Amino acid sequence: MAESPSLLTQETLALAVRELAARDPDLAGIVGRFGPPPMWDRPAGFATLVYIVLEQQVSLASAKAAFDRLQAAVEPLSPERLLELDDGQLLAIGFSRQKARYVRNLAQAVRSGSLDLEALARLPDEDVQRALVGLTGIGPWTASIYLLMALRRPDVWPATDMALVAAVAQVKGLADRPDAGQMRALAAPWRPWRSVAARLFWHDYLSRRGRSAPGTD
């Protein structure tokens, strides 16, 4: 078994897909049906974290529309510029009152230096999770998606992601959707490439629905 690198690349993605397909016939079936998954990466930094907060428990389409409005209103999207927006402006853009509070808190943490986003790239996965979930409104799902897509860590498993749960249940032929504990148990054989397994399941989920980007709806 190859050792997991600290950063997933196109080359290690291809290697991991081959390894996982050799280990698990259901994952091999995804590759056979739809080919290998895209990388689906995002730039690390404040804007991506705000975007992921917007994606919490809503459809991808509504989150993207709100994020596009935010970027149109604030250019460049920085903690300082976001904090210039009042609650009314954030609500008009598409934030709920709760999410407006979350991103303000995030912006204040980055501006004050209590959250060093650049330093996260040098930390182990567990330390990144700890730094992010210490902030109000940043839970394990948000931290995991940031690790997986922005920091491109190879062995992250967002066990509560709704699309991922649905895909695992369908591909594995489960009678019921697995809970978080069952999801973690199912993913154990895919270490050290659980991020790639997640991409494969998202790839299956989206390809069956004629879509091209992973999400939580």
Residue 216 lies in a domain: no
Structure tokens at 171: 């591909």
Query: In the predicted model, is pLDDT for residue 217 greater than 50?
Result: no
- Tell me the mean pLDDT in the region 45-59: 95
> 71 and 28: one domain?
no
What pLDDT does residue 6 have?
79
What number is the average pLDDT over the span 53-72?
94
The pLDDT tens digits of the residues spanning 136-156 come to 999 999 999 999 999 999 999
In SS3 terms, 140-159 reads as HHHHHHHHHHHCCCCCCCCC
Chain-centre distance for alpha carbon 5: 18
Give the C-alpha separation, 100 to 98, whole Å: 5
**Domain-located, residue 217:** no
Q: How many residues can be counted in the chain?
A: 217
| Residue 1 domain flag | no
**Does residue 81 sit in the same domain as residue 108?**
yes
CB atoms within 10 A of CB 204: 23
- The two structure tokens encoding residue 43: 């730039």
Residue 111 pLDDT class (50, 70, 90 cuts):
very high
Domain, as residue range, for 142? 46-150
CATH number at residue 105: 1.10.340.30
- Asked whether residue 213 is assigned to any structural domain, the reply reads no
Which of 6-10, 24-28, 142-146, 172-176 shows the lowest mean pLDDT across its residues? Answer: 6-10
Mean pLDDT calculated for residue range 188-211: 95
How many angstroms separate the CA atoms of 64 and 127, rounded?
A: 29
188 and 130 within one domain = no
Q: What is the pLDDT of residue 214?
A: 60
Is residue 2's pLDDT more than 80? no
62 shares its domain with 85: yes
- Please identify which residue in the block is written with the tokens 């397994």: 197
DSSP string, 6-28: SS--HHHHHHHHHHHHHH-HHHH
Q: Are 215 and 163 in contact (CB under 8 A)?
A: yes
Residues 68, 35: one domain?
Answer: no
Shared-domain flag, residues 162 and 128: no
Q: In this predicted structure, what is the pLDDT of residue 120?
A: 96
**With bands split at pLDDT 50, 70 and 90, how would you rate the model's confidence at 57?**
confident
> For the chain, how many structural domains are there in total?
2
